[in-house]
C-alpha cells in the first residue's frame, strides 16, 4: 500500500471516479487532471480535504494542489485509478517518429509486464522439467503447464487489444473484441486449409499469397494473427479514430450500442482486408531480403540477424524467417537460417542484469530479477517491452552484443538439428543427433558468454539512468536561515498574482525578473527538478524547503526556453547558477514571468522577515527566517 493511498482514493472519487479521467499529469506542486465531464467532480470536497492545499480550474485542467510530495500522491492515484502509468509526470509530449513508436509499443505492453514474466518463468520451468526427462511432452502435466505458459503468447492480440485500447482511448472491451477476431478459429482454419485455394493475389511476384475468403466479394488473405503484436495495435489505433468519429454524429441517446457497432463494423474489415495483409506482405519481402543477404555473405548475415532480431520480434517480422528455417530443416535435416539469433535473448538478459544495479525507480528495479529469469529461459518480452526498450540505449547495447554473438555463430558455420527448446534449454538443439558431437553447442555457449559480457559491460559502464524519481524531502533539523534572492527583479506579494495556489503553499514573495537567471539562494541540495525545468525545489543545509517557480503555467512550455545547470540530488553553494530562461521567448509565447518563491515548510519557523524593498539584486537578502 502506498503512503498516500487513502488520499489518492479520495481524490479519484471526488473527481468523478476513474472512468471520468481522460488524462493525468503532475507538475511540481499539483495534480493536473483532464476530466471527461468536470460537472461530475465534487469541487466542495477538495476545500477541506486533508493533504490537499486547494483546487484550481484553469486552462481546461482540473488542478489539485498537493505540495512537495505531489509525485508520491500521483503514483498512488495512477495505481488506484488503474491508469497503468499511461499518463506522464512531465507534461511533455513524445516527439519524433521513433520515440512515438517506442512510446506506443512500451505503453501497450507496460500493463502486462508482470504477467509476461510469470508465464515466461512457467514456460522455462516446463522446458527444464522436460529437459531432465521428468515427463514427456505428451503427459498431462506438460500439456497443462504449457497451456498456462503459452496462453498469453498465443492470444496476444486479445491481451494487447485491451492494453492498446487504453493507450489510444478506445473502449477496452472493443479492443479485446478486435484482438479476439484476429485470433478467431474460423479465420485460422481457412488460413491453414489444404487443397485448392479460391484464387491468388499478386500471382508470379514475391508477394504472391493464396486467399481463401472474401468479404462482400472482396478477396483477402486469411492470415494467422495469433501471437502477433503489430496488427492489433494498428487496428486499435484506427478503431479509436472511428470511435471518435462515431461519437460526433451518432445521437448521444443511442451511443452506448451504436458507437461500438460502428467502430467494429468499420475498423475490423479494414484490418483484415488491408492492415493485416500489408504487414504480411512486408514480412514476405523481408524474408526474401534476408535470404539474398545469406547467399551473399553468411558472416554479414549473422551480424545483421543478431543485431535486428529483437526488433523483428517486436514487430512480428521474425515470422518471415521461421517458416524458411522449418523448410530448410525438413529438406536437409539441419538449419542455418536463424541460428545467428540465438545469443540475442541472452544479450538482452545481461543488459537487464546490469540495469538492475543502476536503476533508480524501485518498481522498475523489482521487475529486473523476474525478467532475467524469464530471459534465461528464452522469454525476453518482459525485458524488452518493460525495461530496455523504453530506456532506448540499453536496448541498442543488447543489439550490439547480440550482433557480435551472431558473427561468432556464423563464422563457425553452426547448424541446428531441431527447432525445439528456448533460451538455455535450446542449446541442446546444436548437438549432432547422428554423431553425438557437441561441438556446435560449445560454439553457441561461447557466443552466449561473449554477448552477455559485452551487453553487461556496455550497459554498466556507459548507460546512466537519468530518471527523476519523486522523493520525500530529507528531514533535517531546521535552523535559522538567511535566503539570498535567487532572481534579480521587482518584488511583489504572493496575493498579487493570478494563481492563488502558491499563497497556500507557504510564506514567500513573487519576483518579476529583470534577467533570465536563477541562482542558489543558500547552500543546500536540489530536491526536485522537473524535465520541464520551469521550477526547482531546494533544501538548505539548515533544513529550509524552498520552491522557485519561474512564471505561471510555464510547465506547458515542455522545457522550451529553459536550460538547467544542475540536476536532482546535486549539492549547490549559495550563488551557483541553477537555471537560465529566455524571458522574451516566454513572454511572446503568452506566459507571465512573475516567479513565486515560497518557503514550503513555513510552519517550521516562528518568524519570517520578508524583504521590504521594491527591488532586489541577485546577491541581496530576501528572507530572514527564525525558528
**Mean pLDDT (whole number) for 498-512:** 79
Q: What is the mean pLDDT of the chain?
A: 82
Q: What is the pTM of this model?
A: 0.53
Determine the Cα–Cα distance for residues 30 and 67; give it in Å rounded to an integer.
7
The sign of the dihedral angle between the CA atoms of 454, 460, 466, 472 is: positive
Residue whose C-alpha is closest to residue 175's, from 255, 276, 278, 263: 263
Say whether pLDDT at 406 is over 90.
Answer: yes
Residues 227-273 pLDDT 10s: 777 889 999 999 999 998 998 889 878 888 899 999 999 999 999 98
For the beta carbon of residue 392, count every other beta carbon within 10 angstroms.
Answer: 14
Task: For residue 453, name the pLDDT band (cuts at 50, 70, 90).
Answer: very high
Q: Are 480 and 626 in contact (CB under 8 A)?
A: yes
More confident site: 122 or 578: 578
* Helix spans in 230-361 (H): 230-249, 255-270, 276-296, 298-315, 322-332, 344-356
What per-residue string of b and e applies to 105-140 under the rule 16 or more CB within 10 Å gives b? bbbbbbbbbeebbbbbbbbbebbeebeeeeeeeeee
Distances (CA, A) of 534 to 34, 53, 476, 506, 557: 21, 21, 26, 19, 9
Q: Which residues contact 587 (CB under 8 A, 6 or more apart)?
A: 593
Determine the Cα–Cα distance for residues 359 and 352; give it in Å rounded to an integer.
10
Determine the Cα–Cα distance for residues 565 and 557; give it in Å rounded to an integer.
18
What per-residue string of b and e applies to 510-534 under the rule 16 or more CB within 10 Å gives b? bbebbebbbbbbbebbbbbbbbbbb
Instruction: Give the model's pLDDT for residue 204.
Output: 53
For the beta carbon of residue 304, count every other beta carbon within 10 angstroms.
Answer: 20
Q: Are 38 and 30 in contact (CB under 8 A)?
A: no
Distances (CA, A) of 40 to 21, 36, 44, 107, 224: 11, 9, 12, 28, 44
Determine the Cα–Cα distance for residues 228 and 318; give it in Å rounded to an integer.
10
Q: Are 406 and 305 in contact (CB under 8 A)?
A: yes
3-state SS, residue 470: coil
Instruction: Give the model's pLDDT for residue 372.
Output: 92
Task: Give whichever of 60-74, 346-360, 456-470, 544-558 has the largest mean pLDDT.
Answer: 346-360
**Mean pLDDT (whole number) for 198-220:** 60
Look-up of cell digits 530529507: 474
**Ranges 84-98, 233-247, 511-525: which has the least confidence:** 84-98
Residue whose C-alpha is closest to residue 240's, from 181, 172, 180: 172
Report the catalytic residues.
27
Domains and CATH numbers, the chain: 5-90 (3.30.1360.60), 155-286 (no CATH), 481-626 (2.70.70.10)
3-state SS, residue 475: coil
Instruction: Give, to the nearest 10 degrees, the angle between helix 156-168 and helix 97-109.
Output: 120
Residues 341-359 pLDDT 10s: 999 999 999 999 999 999 9
Say whether pLDDT at 302 is over 70.
Answer: yes
- Chain centroid to CA 379: 19
Task: For residue 456, name the pLDDT band (cuts at 50, 70, 90).
Answer: very high
**Mean pLDDT (whole number) for 304-330:** 76
Percent of the chain residues topping a pLDDT of 90: 27
Amino acid at each position: 500500500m502506498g503512503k498516500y493511498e487513502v488520499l489518492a482514493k479520495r481524490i479519484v472519487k471526488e473527481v468523478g471516479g476513474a472512468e471520468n479521467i481522460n488524462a493525468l499529469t503532475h507538475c511540481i506542486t499539483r495534480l493536473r487532471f483532464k476530466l471527461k465531464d468536470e460537472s461530475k467532480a465534487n469541487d466542495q470536497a477538495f476545500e477541506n480535504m486533508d493533504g490537499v492545499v486547494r483546487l484550481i480550474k484553469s486552462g481546461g485542467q482540473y488542478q489539485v494542489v498537493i505540495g512537495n510530495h505531489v509525485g508520491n500522491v500521483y503514483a498512488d492515484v495512477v495505481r488506484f485509478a488503474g491508469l497503468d502509468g499511461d499518463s506522464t509526470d512531465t507534461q511533455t509530449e513524445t516527439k519524433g517518429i521513433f520515440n512515438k513508436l517506442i512510446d506506443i509499443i512500451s505503453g501497450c505492453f507496460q500493463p502486462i509486464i508482470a504477467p509476461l514474466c510469470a508465464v515466461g518463468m512457467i514456460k522455462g520451468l516446463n522446458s527444464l522439467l522436460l529437459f531432465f526427462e521428468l515427463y514427456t511432452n505428451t503427459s498431462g502435466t506438460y500439456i497443462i503447464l504449457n497451456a498456462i505458459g503459452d496462453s498469453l503468447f498465443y492470444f496476444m492480440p486479445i491481451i494487447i487489444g485491451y492494453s492498446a485500447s487504453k493507450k489510444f482511448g478506445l473502449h477496452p472491451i472493443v479492443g479485446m473484441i478486435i484482438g479476439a477476431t484476429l485470433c478467431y478459429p474460423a479465420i485460422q482454419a481457412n488460413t491453414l486449409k489444404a487443397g485448392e485455394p479460391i484464387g491468388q493475389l499478386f500471382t508470379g511476384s514475391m508477394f504472391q499469397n493464396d486467399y481463401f475468403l472474401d468479404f462482400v466479394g472482396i478477396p483477402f488473405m486469411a492470415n494467422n494473427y495469433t501471437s502477433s503484436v503489430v496488427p492489433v495495435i494498428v487496428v486499435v489505433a484506427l478503431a479509436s479514430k472511428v470511435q471518435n468519429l462515431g461519437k460526433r454524429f451518432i445521437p448521444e441517446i443511442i451511443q452506448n450500442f451504436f458507437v461500438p457497432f460502428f467502430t467494429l463494423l468499420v475498423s475490423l474489415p479494414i484490418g483484415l482486408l488491408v492492415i493485416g495483409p500489408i504487414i504480411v506482405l512486408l514480412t514476405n519481402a523481408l524474408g526474401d531480403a534476408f535470404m539474398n543477404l545469406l547467399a551473399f555473405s553468411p558472416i554479414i548475415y549473422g551480424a545483421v540477424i543478431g543485431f535486428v532480431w529483437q526488433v523483428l520480434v517486436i514487430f512480428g517480422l521474425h515470422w518471415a524467417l521461421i517458416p524458411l528455417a522449418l523448410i530448410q530443416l525438413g529438406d536437409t535435416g539441419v538449419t542455418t537460417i536463424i541460428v545467428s539469433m540465438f545469443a540475442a535473448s541472452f544479450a538482452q538478459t545481461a543488459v537487464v542484469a546490469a540495469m538492475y544495479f543502476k536503476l533508480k525507480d524501485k518498481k522498475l528495479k523489482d521487475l529486473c530479477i523476474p525478467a532475467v529469469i524469464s530471459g534465461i529461459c528464452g522469454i525476453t518480452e518482459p525485458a524488452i517491452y518493460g525495461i530496455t526498450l523504453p530506456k532506448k540505449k540499453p536496448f541498442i547495447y543488447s543489439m550490439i552484443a547480440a550482433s557480435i554473438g551472431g558473427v561468432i555463430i556464423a563464422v563457425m558455420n553452426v547448424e541446428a538439428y531441431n527447432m525445439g527448446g528456448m533460451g538455455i534449454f535450446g542449446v541442446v538443439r546444436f548437438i549432432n543427433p547422428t554423431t553425438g558431437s557437441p561441438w556446435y553447442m560449445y560454439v553457441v555457449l561461447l557466443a552466449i558468454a561473449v554477448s552477455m559480457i559485452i551487453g553487461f559491460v556496455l550497459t554498466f559502464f556507459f548507460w546512466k539512468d537519468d530518471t527523476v524519481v519523486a522523493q520525500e524531502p530529507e528531514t533535517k533539523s531546521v535552523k535559522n536561515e538567511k535566503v539570498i534572492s535567487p532572481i534579480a527583479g521587482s518584488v511583489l506579494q504572493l496575493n498579487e498574482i493570478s494563481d492563488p495556489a502558491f499563497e497556500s503553499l507557504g510564506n514567500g514573495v513573487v519576483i518579476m525578473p529583470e534577467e533570465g537567471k536563477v541562482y542558489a539562494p543558500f547552500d543546500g541540495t536540489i530536491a526536485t527538478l522537473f524535465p520541464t525545468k520551469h521550477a526547482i525545489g531546494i533544501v538548505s543545509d539548515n533544513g529550509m524547503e524552498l520552491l522557485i517557480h519561474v512564471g505561471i503555467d510555464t510547465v506547458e512550455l515542455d522545457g522550451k526556453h529553459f536550460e538547467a545547470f544542475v540536476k536532482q540530488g546535486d549539492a549547490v553553494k549559495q550563488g551557483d547558477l541553477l537555471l537560465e530562461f529566455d524571458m522574451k521567448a516566454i513572454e511572446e509565447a503568452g506566459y507571465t514571468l512573475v516567479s513565486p518563491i515560497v518557503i514550503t515548510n513555513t510552519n517550521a519557523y516562528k518568524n519570517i522577515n520578508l524583504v521590504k524593498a521594491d527591488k532586489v539584486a541577485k546577491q541581496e537578502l530576501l528572507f530572514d527566517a527564525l525558528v
